[in-house]
Amino acid sequence: MNTPIAVQPWDATPPKEFVTDGAPTISTEEVSACPVCQCERFVAQATGFDYELRSCRNTWRFVRCEACSHVWLNPRPSISTLGTIYPPHYYAYHYTEKVSPLALKAKNWLDSRKFAGLVKTLGRKPSSFVDIGCGDGRYLRFAEHVGVSKHRDYGLELDESVVRKLCEQGYVGLCERVEDCTAIAERSIDLATMFHVIEHVDDPKAVVQRVARWLSPGGVFAVETPNIASMDARMFGKTYWGGYHIPRHWNMFSPETLKRLLEDAGLEVVGTRYQTGHSFWMYSMHHLTRYHGGSRAGLSRMFDPFGGWPSLPALLAFTAFDKARAAIGGRTSSMLMLARRAD
């Protein structure tokens, strides 16, 4: 991708903050074949560091498949290091505490509209629902409000305390990976959602194939993930793009590669919607201002998505920019792809 920001060399020295903070070098594992098409030929796409959390000092590399153009992290962190790259202060664990009440209300309204749109695509009220990576269960509550009974309202999450709370509320909380889950019967789910999860998994093909088997005839699977074919990915894609979320995002999709993944599982893609990618714009600018050509920590706070009021003007500006672009058919950096089980 053409960009004025040069790719970091593979043996680049980490920014001085990583050394000062005592960030460790963690173990890694090679991923020699494309997770989408299994081709073993690839070229370097980008390199960079954990610019957000500085959890480790490794240099990380994304590669691009020569056959299908899918992009993935290679090497990636070993499974044994997940506790390091997802530390206790990881933002997703404290989302409601870090985001302003105004932003939370706006997000809840947008999410409710998104869910209503998914039900419209399904063409009927769902009688069963599963949200993969369900967090605090807000989409389970949306499903309940449209008539899904709690005993058919499933939420998959890897945090045991979160799952326990969902079960206490009467939902079917499952502390399992999709690939290992046997509690959901085949052909039993009308609507399945996976919002910004598939980029984190090690085997996206296996995940999509399992969800496809869960779907009832005519059932819909909605997948939201960063779009590596977006404007900001082209501008910052050699190292600073916020959508990389280095090293926690392991697979980066374009509309074409995500469509292929869904179709290979026997699903029919029925639509793609582009959401605001304001957090990716924000993190891209944060990483650029903080790490490019010397640290400017004060300036970078203006682009921290969880920086509170100082970052609000940039947050509003990027949100408005992406909404305007999406309204005229532009491909933003957050895509929501809808696929249906045809039989």
For tokens 């893609």, the residue is 269
Least confident of 11-15, 151-155, 272-276, 288-292: 11-15
Q: What is the pLDDT of residues 221-265, one digit of tens each?
A: 999 999 999 999 999 999 999 999 999 999 999 999 999 999 999
Length of the chain: 343
By mean pLDDT, which of 9-13, 26-30, 167-171 is the weakest? Answer: 9-13
Share of the chain above pLDDT 90, in %: 78
Q: What is the pLDDT of residues 75-104, one digit of tens each?
A: 999 999 999 999 876 766 656 665 667 767
96-341 is a CATH 3.40.50.150 domain: yes
pLDDT, mean of residues 155-183: 94
Q: Which of helix, strand or coil describes residue 103?
A: helix
CA–CA distances in Å: residue 210 to residues 120, 145, 204, 324, 339 = 24, 27, 10, 36, 14
Residue-level pLDDT at 292: 87
Sorting pLDDT into bands at 50, 70 and 90, what band is 1?
A: very low
C-beta separation of 261 from 221 below 8 A = no
The reported pLDDT for the residue numbered 226 is: 98
pLDDT at position 308: 78
Share the mean pLDDT of the chain: 91
Burial annotation 145-176 (CB, 10 A radius, 16+ → b, else e) = eeebeeebbbbbbeeeebbeebeeeebbbbbe
How does pLDDT run across 310-341, given as a tens digit for each residue?
Answer: 888 999 999 999 999 999 999 999 999 999 99
- Taking the alpha carbons at both ends of the chain, their separation in whole angstroms is 39
Q: Where are the domains of the chain?
A: 16-85, 96-341
pLDDT tens per residue, range 131-145:
999 988 999 999 999
**pLDDT for the residue numbered 2:** 40
What pLDDT sits at residue 97?
Answer: 62
In which residue are the tokens 């009927």 written?
Answer: 124
Inform me whether the pLDDT recorded for 3 exceeds 80.
no
Place of tokens 């040069």: 6
Half-sphere exposure of 206 (CA within 13 A, CB side): 9
Q: Single out the residue of 157, 105, 106 nearest to residue 131, CA to CA.
A: 157
Q: How confident is the model at residue 10 (pLDDT cuts 50, 70, 90)?
A: low
d(CA 212, CA 339): 9
Q: Is the pLDDT of residue 209 over 60?
A: yes
Mean pLDDT computed over 183-196:
97
Q: What percent of the chain has pLDDT over 70?
A: 92
User: According to the model, what pLDDT value does residue 4 have?
Assistant: 43
- Per-residue tokens: 17: 């903050």
Residue 94's pLDDT is 54
As a whole number, mean pLDDT of residues 282-306 equals 87
Map residue 193 onto helix, strand or coil. Answer: strand
* Res. 296: pLDDT tops 80: no
Q: What is the sign of the dihedral through the CA atoms of 279, 285, 289 and 295?
A: positive
Give 318-321 contacts, CB < 8 A, sequence gap 24+.
Answer: 318/276, 318/277, 318/278, 318/281, 318/282, 319/276, 319/278, 321/281
CB 277 within 8 A of CB 331: no
pLDDT interval class at 342 (50, 70, 90):
confident
